[in-house]
Each structure stands twice: as C-alpha cells, then as structure tokens.
Structure 1
Amino acid sequence: MTIKDKLTLPTAEEIAIAQECSREISAYLETGTESQQIDISSKDGEKHALSIPTRALSLLVDILAQLGQGNAVKIIPIHAELTTQEAADILNVSRPYLVRMLDQGDIPHHKVGRHRRVRYQDLMDYKAAVDAKRLSALDELSALSQMHDPEY
C-alpha cells in the first residue's frame, strides 16, 4: 500500500483472522534473535521456509493487532516526503491551514518545483511537540482546578 492508497476498514472476517494471527505470532516471537524462520504454504499446500528479520515480524504483529481492533493501517517510511494534502490528513487539519503553518515556519518543508513537500519525520516531530504542549496545558488546568476546588 502506498501513501496515496485509500484506506478501508477491515471486514469482520479480516478482523477475526488478524486477531488469531497476532496471538499466534506473538507466542513464537523471539525478540532476542536477529531473524526467525516461518513457513508459508502455497495454494497447492507446498511449504516454503522463509527467514524474516525479527524487527519485521514484530511490526507484522503490531499491524495485525491494529487490524484485529478494526483499524485501517498505513505504513509510511520515516524518510517519506509527503504532499501538503497527505500531511494535512495525518494532522487532521485542512490543507490551507497546513500551508499557513508551513509558511509561518511551524513545520519545516522544502519545495519540489512549485510544490511543497514535508518530511514525515518533521511532521511527527511537530505533532509530538504540539501533543506535549497540550498535555502540559491540561496538567496546568488540572492543578489550577484542584487549587480552587480541592475536593474535585
């Protein structure tokens, strides 16, 4: 799946399969090793042994767990460059609002021709900073609330 593919929610059957597979793989996941062997069967029942990096297998468990909860999943490489629409979708804001943030220097970006591109990692760094500010503000509001109403 690429960044541009439309996400769809998993079906009830896919959810059930993902839940079972997530549990099964988790039971055999050996995080202390660099790779692990798995067997895959073809349509005709022929088994093929594969060596998979443990890190990739662990990521597969995470993906299956999300699908098992009924969530759509998208994988974006850390070094990916996003269009303004893709970046806006990730932040759940409008594209014009995101463009204003880029123009104000809130999020680093660069231009490819006339088009702006945002590195995924820069977007996640911005999101983490905003989330930290929100959490700090909520903590402060909670402290003020308890000062004014200690029983709360």
Structure 2
Amino acid sequence: MTAALTTNPPSKDDVELARASGQRLAPYARKGLALTFRVRDAENEEAIELPAGAVKLLMAVLEDMASGRAVTIVPQNAELTTQQAADVLNVSRPFLIGLLDERKLPFRMVGTHRRVRFEDVLNYKEAIDTERRKVLGQLAAEAQELGMGY
C-alpha cells in the first residue's frame, strides 16, 4: 500500500510560520545531523529525535510552504492512479491515458485499473522539461539571429 500526504496551498499565516520556522531550523539542518525537537501541547511535552534525512525533508517542506506552494510527499516506490499521475504532470487524465496507450509512459494493470510508478512519472516529466528547454533555447537563438532580441 502506498501513502501520500497532500495539503492545500498554505494559508497566509502558515506561510509566515513556515518562513520563520525554516529560518530558525536552517542553521541546524545545514549540519546534516539528526536533531531532537521538543514537542509541547497544552497537556504534554516530550523530546522527539528525527533522522538527518527527515530534517532535510522538513526543511524542503518548510521552504515550499514559505513560498506559498502546496506540498505532496510520496514514497519513492509509490504507484499512482492515472488521475494522480495526470495531476503530477499537470495534464488531463484523457491526455495521460493517451500517453499510456502510446507506450510513452510505462504502467501496469491492477485488475481493470492502470497504475503508474511515481518514479516513471518524474522521469517522463524531466524528459519533457529538458526537451522544452532545448526548444526554447533554439527559438531564442533564432530570434537573436533575426534581430528580434532586446
């Protein structure tokens, strides 16, 4: 079973809190060590130790939240539904199904449902982003040759 934690974009108060927390945590996180946090609510207080990798992940979450972005955490070996994969790629589900049917993105069947590995979705996204950058570079070079630059 795979798990994903998805949040909505943070509120203005959460953005400010994430920014302040990230600034306070950053000097410790840069050391790359496990950290112990003191957690307190109205009734209890206790120390919780986080491994260095979790501290690094927490910093990434705080940085994204401080920038006003929603955060999703997905295990590396996760399999996504077609809708989840489409959301990651920011395309429609029918468009994603077309990619799967054209074998541009690998998938497996679970009963009558397609499942796409998160890692494959990220690899595909990186490949199309690289191609887009290449084409934009070519267009910019052509524009300069034609004297269309600023």
Q: Same fold per TM (> 0.5)?
A: yes
Shift in CA distance, 4/96, structure 1 to aligned 2, threshold 3 Å: farther
| Matched pairs, number | 148
Partner of 2:39 in structure 1? Answer: 40
CA contact (8 A) 2:35 2:51 kept: yes
Partner of 1:25 in structure 2? Answer: 25
Give the TM-score of the pair, scaled to structure 2: 0.88
Partner of 1:106 in structure 2? Answer: 104
User: After superposition, what is the alpha-carbon deviation per residue over 1:53-108, rounded to whole angstroms, capped at 9, x for unaligned?
Assistant: 11111111111121122221111112110000111111111111100100101001
- Gaps of at least 5 residues in structure 2 are none
* 1:120 to partner: Cα distance: 0.3
Identity of aligned residues (%): 35
Question: Aligned runs of 1:69-108 on 2, under 5 Å?
Answer: 69-108=67-106
Q: Look up the SS of the partner of 2:72 in the other structure.
A: coil
- Gaps of at least 5 residues in structure 1 are none
- Across the aligned residues of Structure 1 and Structure 2, the Cα RMSD in angstroms comes to 1.9
* 1:4 to partner: Cα distance: 7.9
Shift in CA distance, 75/148, structure 1 to aligned 2, threshold 3 Å: same
> Aligned equivalents of 1:124 and 1:71: distance in 2?
18
Residue type matched to 1:41 in 2? R
